[in-house]
A and B are shown apart, each in its own frame.
Chain A
Amino acid sequence: MSARLLEVSGVWKGFDDHAVLRGLDLQVDAHQAVVLIGASGSGKSTLLRCINGLESVDAGRIVLDGDVEVTDPDIDLDLVRRRVGIVFQSYNLFPHMSVIDNITLAPRKVAGVRAAQAQEEARALLDRFGLAGKADEYPDRLSGGQAQRVAIVRALAMQPELMLFDEITSALDPLLVGEVLDAVRELKSGGLTIVMATHEMGFAREVADRVCFLHDGIVREQGSPEQIFTDPQEPTTREFLARVFG
């Protein structure tokens, strides 16, 4: 059994008078790929943002690597974020910087890596994800699939222990989804720990070690992809899957 990397226990999070997370529990072991599924508004994005410290929780604890408590009000969140990468649905590349500068900004300014070394590492990563010729392009010259892969490389350049993907293919042309999912496959085979919110059920089934179905702000049901997709126990899970697969 590998080590527990992420422990989410009893997390509540509301916006105004609407509760999005309602005492959610989730455990992720190192080198696991956990896929979150569920309807829009079920709390997938909110959960990922809480894990990264982009949102503060109302109650509960999120512990990273057994010792770093993300939800501790006094913690230096910049330190947490160095260890946890996140990629968003809308890429959020910096439009005024070239691809290589987008990628090397955080390693240089946050991790203190020398410029030459950061560039070398960035180019190696670009190469690995089929973006070798794009280092000096600006984001507005990239296709959606390329932009999203650059966003993945940018998060990866900080060498995170845990990678969060927040519906990273939802904004893409269907023809471009494949290349981004290939990038995730590549990361998974490299042994990176991944928590991914997605609507790509086929991909979830193929890549996930565990699938978690979120409903009403908790993990309503979880299990192997095989079990969730072929033999769901909860009526809400069945209903959701029936709607997704039409």
Chain B
Amino acid sequence: MFNLKQLLQIISYQENLDTEGFILKETKDDQQKAGKKDQGQAAADSKQRSGAGQQQAGADAQKDDGKVEQQAGKDGQNQVSGGEDEGAADQNKRSRSRRSFRKPVPSSGTSAHRAAEDGEVSASLEENRESIRQLYGLPGNKDVIIRDFTINTVPPVRCFAVFIDGLTDKVVQDLLFQALMAFAGQAAPASGEKLVDLVKDSLMPGNQVSVTASFREFLDGVNYGGTALFLEGCGKVLLVETKGWEHRTVDRPQSEQTINGPQEAFTETLRTNTSLIRKLLKSEQLTTELLTVGCRVRTYVAVMYLRDLANPDLVAEVKRRIEGVKVDYLADSGVLEQFIEDHPYSLNPTTLATERPDRVASKIMEGKVAILVDGSPFVLVVPSTMYEQLHTGEEIYRRWQFGTYVRYLRALSFLASFLLPGLYLSLVLFHHEMLPTELLLAIAGNRERVPFPSIMEVLMMEFALEFIREAGLRVPGVMGTTIGIVGALILGQAAVQANIVSPILVILVSVTGLASFAIPYYSLAFTTRIYRFIYIALGATLGFFGISIGLFIQVLLTSNLKSFGVPYLVPTGPRTSAGADVVTRLPIFFHESRPDYVNPQDATRAPKVSRTWLKRDRGERR
């Protein structure tokens, strides 16, 4: 029969001691609290432990499990007192305080790994081998290869090479081993230091060789496709650059296709990407700084800028933000973008991610900073403005009239992409008087047989379009495109024939979709997709007044954004020197200065007269 005490016990929270074992670190406060509560019990524990000898680290997980841990002693295994009856054990568990969480303690492997990682290379080959075994979890880890061999010096020197299978270039490695095993006929010095120098300077054919005594550097080198060479009697390790993993070759851009201009896109390899930029900007001032992000797995992040152009404060801020990212693993530049952007809660992206090296090169030439993440084919450019995100970079390759025309077309499509359905709903629901009678009758006639209210019609079609868009991306290859076209056509026509939507709405939603596709920056297009639904709701509830509420709030929020300290809507909000390349793309010879909002070290892009031949011609004119 339940009494009050039992009832309270049932309804009060009790820790599930079987599963709550993942508190990684105990704070000092916890320790103090626990210390007071468990004083008596701890004393009992300590007595039992004192005779138990050294415990195996894996068994430490049960150390705090207040229940008596009986040490088998002889074989080092722990045994939980099995003879106790379960009822007593449960009672004991209930009486335990918060202190009695089962804390996972780093395994002996982890602590030894840390020690080895922070340690230095030994002169003994066997000790080094043991350290490497601990570091890489050998022999279980089959990717890591330790290749023993002898260098053909006089006298021969024992050594071993360490590398990760699949990350290295076998041809380069063959050359390396050949040179050391077959062609090294020189006398080996007795001193380890001199031996390392001899191998590095005279025997090793690699193009990038470094010497280190740190296991951390050794790990970084080998994990990044290098081959490490340990020599007998030498407390240093030689790291040879032998990268050669499988990778995608430089291809055409997938999401930023252009007709004019270069047709190369970045790949997933950091060094390929830096070289693609350097190939376009052949300048000694172009600087690539390498940073690492990630506590558990280190990812290289390259920061590229022109030393004599980029604002040093901007470069310092970019580096400060990247260095300030504390995460176990950085998967992509998109992840880094979310860590370093100014306004993570805003819909608008405040960095520019591009897969085109020519675009990055042109931005670097404006004094901006490029951020490349190893493994990502998208490069971030900061700071970025909204106008810039509506450019493709291609406009500059065309004649200015075409570029300007396309820009205005794109500006229109930008507005249409989020406003059109909301405006339509406002018109048909609130402001019919605006529509000429013929058009009004046509819309009414089409809607006559549709049983749904206009808002439902719009939402159904919009969601259908979103489904097609998402499905088109996920369905593989050619089928994706087919689904996109067929889906849109069949779905639209069938919906009209089934009297689910009116034909005019199909046209409207299609135009909205097309307008959305005309926005060149994917993240910005995504932003408008979400804004569109907000405007649909506002237009359907308050008509044009609702639309103006949305516009006002959107303008306020957008004008409040900053990208690395630069206002997002510059040069119109705030007003700064507009330059020749905002919406109207002026003739190329008017592009005399760089955007002043970046505060570049040199604002002049070209002299006042950049077509000097014209001047000469004038002089010679008859």
The answer to whether A and B come from one shared complex is: no
List chain B positions with a Cβ less than 8 A from chain A: none
List chain A positions with a Cβ less than 8 A from chain B: none
